[in-house]
Amino acid sequence: MIPNVEPVALDSLLPEVQKRFDQGLRLVALTAVENKADATFDVFYHFDKDLSATHLKLTVPKEAAVPSVSGIYFLALLPENEIKDQFGVNFQNIVIDFGCTLYLEAEVVKSPFCTFTYAHKGKEA
């Protein structure tokens, strides 16, 4: 179990992340976990200030659209694209969206680390 984890609802994600930005916290990482039992993802947002780590935990259905925090923390575009590629989390409005080709070739139609799969338009899974 990760200490200092605060659950966050989908509709309050951006205001909570903005609050941390305004307080001078650094976004140091994002982590995704697939919950097979209830068909959800946990997305953890890891923050640091003065060597003290805090975390936000967002739990969403696998098909849910998750707003990108890259408009607040620009460099979030890299872990968001990676998690989108590898797990299929549906991040929306990433400042630079690689369209699931940051690490994957264009012909890949299935997220390799997630049992939940999706097909690109015009392709079969």
Write out the chain's pLDDT in tens, 125 residues.
678 899 999 999 999 999 999 999 999 999 999 998 899 999 999 999 999 999 999 999 999 999 999 999 999 999 999 899 888 899 999 998 877 667 666 666 555 565 654 444 554 54
Question: Would 105 be classed as within a structural domain?
Answer: no
Looking at the domain assignment, is residue 13 inside a domain? yes
In a domain, 123, yes or no: no
Query: 63 in a domain, yes or no?
Result: yes
Residue 11 domain boundaries: 5-92
**Spatial contact of 1 and 42, defined as CB atoms under 8 Å apart:** no
Count of domains observed in the chain: 1
Cα distance between residue 40 and residue 21, in whole Å: 27
pTM given for the model = 0.83
b/e sequence 31-57, b meaning 16+ C-beta within 10 Å: ebebeeeeebbebebbbeeeeeebbbe
Q: What is the CATH number of the domain that holds 21?
A: 3.30.460.80
* Residue 116 within a domain: no
